[in-house]
Structure 1
Amino acid sequence: MLAKVLQKVELTDAGVKEMKSDFSSMSQLVDSHTSSIKQNEQQLGKISTSLNQRKNGSLPSDTIQNPKKDEHCMAIATRSGKILNDPISVGTKHEQVLEQAGREEGEAEHVDDLEDAQPIAQPFMKDLVTKKRAVSIDLTDNVHHCSAIATRSLVQKKEDPGAFTIPCTIGSIEFTKALCDLRASINLIPLAIYKQLGLGVPKPTTMRLMMADRSVKRLVGILYDVLVNEGTLIFLEDFVILDYEVDFKVPIMLGRLFLATG
């Protein structure tokens, strides 16, 4: 226990000694600063006294008295320090005026020479306006060729008829008016007319037809490869059989498939 206390005391003594050394170094720095401040104050005092002793209009350094008193002394010194002893020629105002007049005369002569060398403009536009010349140009016949097809009258486009009727013959029955509807995608024949034709047994189908009133009808069947005689032409068409009331004015309907084939 005592040994630990002694160690602590020794450590504190060492710390005190370090602090004393630091204080001594700081005091030395303060002394050096005070001495430098005093030196600066002395220099400023000397400068102020020298300024107060100088007279107005006098030079700050020692001057050499003019040996010739009332005469003017002129000398030229270069940047390198070499003194030129050649006399300085001072031109009078009259000489400067004469020199300037000579320059102006030379410039005027130069301008006169330029005017003489400049070409004279000829009245070119005036001659063109007053003196008109007759110009003859040979005319050539330009023959244009065009196709005979372009000169023909074009066929006028007619409106879409939508639905129209044609005469045709199926089997032993002749139809004076068969409705051709461009909006229909099938060939339609009523069940009553199918029975009159006796074209065989139709093929059953699951197809359904949506009518104009949005009602859905079930088909009886489909007849394939039915001969349709239209004038001198004979077509093979497929017909859809539907049980509905026969319209004797247009008993059957031919759709886009028949019209595309024809």
Structure 2
Amino acid sequence: MPKFALMFKKLLNKKDKLIELMKTPLNENCSAVVLKKLPEKLGDPGRFLIPCDFTGLDNCLALANLGASINLMPLSIWKKLRLPTLDNTKMVLELANRTISKPTGVAENIFVK
């Protein structure tokens, strides 16, 4: 007789007890998980624009970036907006098209109203 035959014989003799063990009563937490439907898929929200107020510019909308990133701006636009002076930096940036850019300066925490 193979070694596992004895194991199967014991399992078959005690199958009533196994069926009782398989039945698990659901409490509030389990039933909530089982009954919970999948959330409805939403479409692309598009751009997240924030209205801003700069002197000399009408209808200014700033594109908000909700993640951590580096935003680049041409120096001519920085001067035109009359924003605070830039801090010197030794940073060198490699852009997506593999060009190297050395920023004139860095500004942090510029608030826009």
TM-score (norm 2): 0.51
Deviation at 1:196, TM superposition (A): 2.5
Quick check: which one's strand share is greater? 1
AA of the residue aligned to 1:167? L
Do residues 152 (structure 1) and 36 (structure 2) align? Answer: yes
Aligned match for 1:200, one of 80, 84, 88: 84
Q: Deviations over 1:196-230 (max 9, x none)?
A: 2211211111111112221111101111220145x
AA of the residue aligned to 1:185? S
Percent identical: 28
TM-score (norm 1): 0.26
Aligned match for 1:225, one of 89, 101, 109: 109
Aligned match for 2:49, one of 163, 167, 175: 167
Do residues 189 (structure 1) and 73 (structure 2) align? Answer: yes
CA contact (8 A) 1:202 1:221 kept: yes
CA distance in 2, matches of 1:170, 1:189: 16
The residue that corresponds to 1:176 in the other structure is 61
Higher RCO (CA-CA < 8 Å; seq separation 6+):
2
CA contact (8 A) 2:50 2:64 kept: no
Deviation at 1:175, TM superposition (A): 4.1
Quick check: which one's helix share is greater? 1
What is the 5 A alignment of 1:46-61?
none
CA contact (8 A) 1:167 1:175 kept: no
CA distance in 2, matches of 1:143, 1:212: 56
Question: Computing the radius of gyration over CA atoms, which structure comes out larger, 1 or 2?
Answer: 1
CA distance in 1, matches of 2:31, 2:65: 38
Deviation at 1:185, TM superposition (A): 2.9
CA contact (8 A) 1:204 1:222 kept: yes
Distance 1:215 1:153, change over 3 A: same
AA of the residue aligned to 2:63? A
Q: Please, what is the CA RMSD of the aligned residues?
A: 3.5
The residue that corresponds to 1:215 in the other structure is 99
CA distance in 2, matches of 1:156, 1:207: 44
CA distance in 1, matches of 2:34, 2:104: 54
CA distance in 2, matches of 1:165, 1:190: 22
SS of the residue 2:108 aligns to:
strand
